[in-house]
């Protein structure tokens, strides 16, 4: 009984056999092959998307609307009033909540 040949020898034999095969450049796919492949691909069951895939585009749309809304709010907001130099900064500035309510 002969021991199994190493993979390198098998690859060499396979490559030599491939070199000896006839050239078949002019062969074409059988008639209707592309139609059958397209029909089988259409019949394949569709994989249900994950929860992330379902809501990903919606989340991108909501994020874009929020970005556009915040940019519009920033552009339409009135400029900050000029503070007098004789009034201390602690007295002139207000907290953030009152600024939001005033806007």
pLDDT digits (tens, 9 = 90+) for 26-84: 778 888 888 888 888 888 777 767 778 778 888 999 999 999 999 888 877 766 666 65
Domain-embedded: residue 43:
no
- Element (DSSP H or E) covering residue 65: helix 51-76
Domain-embedded: residue 15:
no
Domain-embedded: residue 63:
yes
Domain-embedded: residue 42:
no
Domain-embedded: residue 29:
no
Structure tokens at 86: 């004789």
Instruction: Work out how many domains the chain is built from and give that number.
Output: 1
pTM reported for the whole predicted model: 0.32
What is the domain extent for residue 66?
52-76
Rounded Cα distance between 52 and 94, Å, is: 42
């Amino acid at each position: 009984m002969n021991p199994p040949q190493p993979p390198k020898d098998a690859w060499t034999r396979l490559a030599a056999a491939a070199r000896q095969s006839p050239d078949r450049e002019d062969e074409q796919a059988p008639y209707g092959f592309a139609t059958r492949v397209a029909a089988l691909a259409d019949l394949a069951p569709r994989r249900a998307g994950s929860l992330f895939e379902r809501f990903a585009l919606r989340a991108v749309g909501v994020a874009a609307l929020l970005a556009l809304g915040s940019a519009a709010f920033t552009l339409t907001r009135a400029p900050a009033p000029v503070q007098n130099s004789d009034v201390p900064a602690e007295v002139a500035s207000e907290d953030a909540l009152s600024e939001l309510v005033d806007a």
